[in-house]
Structure 1
């Protein structure tokens, strides 16, 4: 058994802390705000981000980052994608040589257009870095509902160690050395979930959603391969698997955000109603910039960008996709 620290007490970080404590590890869950720690200690659950998921006995809570990072042989970085660089920079002085960081955020960094593992390695070069990804809602993992994910890193020994420590009879982990493909799939599927939700909000049907998902995985693979990912990765757990769960479930905050947008709410109103980070919104700008840089065509992603940031009418955006020039698949 390992000492594990989870840096970030949103829904996914909390769910992983619960699962890993139940696995028999010594787990410490860190939150930035003292008030949240006190609330969780009082309630025995994270009512703000993961209500009704009761903390198991022994789960430790702290807002002291030095204490938290000293505890963990494995450190799970569970902060929003836009906070990864600042968080990794803040944590770097307390991280030891060869300590293992498992990133669970999904996205691309705006400006640099880097994958999150690249950002983390820049900030904490002394550590091993891996990425946990796959079709996994926090609400279900915290309840022990059977789930598969994968751990991606070029270092197979690290991948196998995390696989062995994190897996259990209801949480199965595969390993994958195609870190680029895994991270690109994880980031881009959130954009497609916005599109799928928008289609639902507009009142379109299953045919439309199937079209978005099938053409969406094509876009994801097109850009992912252009930056060095492997085609097969997009047909697997972090590609089509994550796309399915994110585009079809009401657990998905990206799909829920898309529904609200499709119903006519502004981006500001949508984010205020969701009350949690919607990673697809953060990712779509970087994805479009990266596509332009690599000279890759992403019509669905470009349409979502136009709706979110250029005032494009939602229905017009969908219908324009349908009326693009005829072509072979």
Structure 2
């Protein structure tokens, strides 16, 4: 019997990219009929691998697959939708693709900042409404000479730094280890970063420790009139606190590509008011998106499943120790 892989959920209908990669090792691919825990646990039974995008891969789903399960692969960078503790307990390695969209997210970070500082959205909307008045954007400020603070200094933040330097910004970095990833970025404490930064940009993963990093106390320590950007995870900010800081003038503007939940409410009238605030520049979780990034993501995620099924060590293991216990490699 060929190995069977179950894909829990994806926003695209064509699975030809994934099937082509799995076919290299003779594996087949099924798509789950629904994303609730009971359905996934039932349909995962006997599967050799799971590919997942946003669906919750709980302990029950992992246990439902049984002893045949050899790998769970995330179609994305983070793994907060996968029960990593249960996977480790069951000896199932988990993979991800942490760097497939680094250029896109870095570009999007600067795009949000430029849209805010150059009044791009307001000016475009005014012209479309028949208004030609350069004076309406009279409060514009140049970027060069300002400081941007990057919280969570990983691959994406390093790429943001390269772009920010090209615009003449001073770049500050902050992470738990103080590692500048060989970039020469000035690494500072959280307190110093907030005091010095005209723009604060979030690039940290969402964990129990980082949830609601941006709360009222965080915002109070920021420079008055600073800009906040979040292209990482919606759960990093307290939306109520950010809304209050916008309305008080503590924040000049925010640029958000992520929200919690997404969309920001079940019905438009229930959306969190931050999502529609006139000084909130919100995009619908598209920072990662390009034709190129999606093909790369799909290919590399499926290839890691194929690698495990053929006995090869995959490219990006979340916990290498699980692989080593399972294989002795």
- Provide TM-score, normalisation by structure 2: 0.36
Q: Based on CA coordinates, which of the two structures has the bigger radius of gyration?
A: 2
Larger RCO: 1 or 2 (CA < 8 Å, sep 6+): 2
- Provide TM-score, normalisation by structure 1: 0.36
